[in-house]
Amino acid sequence: MSDIESTTAGQKPRSDEWQSAITVVQEAEPPFIPSGAHAMTIVVEFPPGDPGNPPHRHAGPAFGYVLEGEMVFELEGEPARVVRAGEAFWEPGGDVIHYQDGNNRADIPVRFTVTMLCEPDQPMLTFVDEEELRRREDRRAQRTD
């Protein structure tokens, strides 16, 4: 006889709620994900007005969701945009520079979660130095601020 008990023993029958419990917030076709890829999910919290991480890149695709507040999101070749609570974002990773991920608001914090994938033995995030930013400034979308 097993010492393991059924998790449904003595419970009411399941409802049909599971059929409407999922809301799709994003669908994407990421680049190839290599065999043995490493995945990491993080929660990032920036206080009001915080500019976020310096320009950086991710070794592989990253998928995120804003939990609270508003984030300024800017990838190389795309204009900066605001991603609000309840909205998703993603980036392909690789050679693309991620310029901004800071808090868009000066009065409330921003909190978002990101799942990143990368090749084995590669860092999840690498900062971009000023020299490379200057060499690639023609790839940055025009700013309207």
| C-alpha separations of 89 from 15, 27, 59, 113 in Å | 32, 10, 17, 10
Cβ within 8 Å of residue 111, ≥6 positions away:
43, 44, 45, 46, 66, 67, 68, 69
- Rounded Cα distance between 128 and 133, Å, is 7
Question: Could you give the 3-state DSSP secondary structure of residue 32?
Answer: coil
Domains in the chain (CATH in brackets) are 47-130 (2.60.120.10)
Q: What is the pLDDT of residues 18-47, one digit of tens each?
A: 778 888 888 888 777 777 889 999 999 999
Instruction: Give pLDDT, residue 8.
Output: 64
How do the pLDDT tens digits run along the chain, 145 residues long?
A: 556 666 666 677 778 887 788 888 888 887 777 778 899 999 999 999 999 999 999 988 999 999 999 999 999 999 999 999 999 999 998 899 999 999 999 999 999 999 999 888 888 899 999 999 999 999 999 866 5
Instruction: Give pLDDT, residue 3.
Output: 65
Closest CA relative to residue 40, chosen from 137, 116, 127: 116
Instruction: Give pLDDT, residue 145.
Output: 55
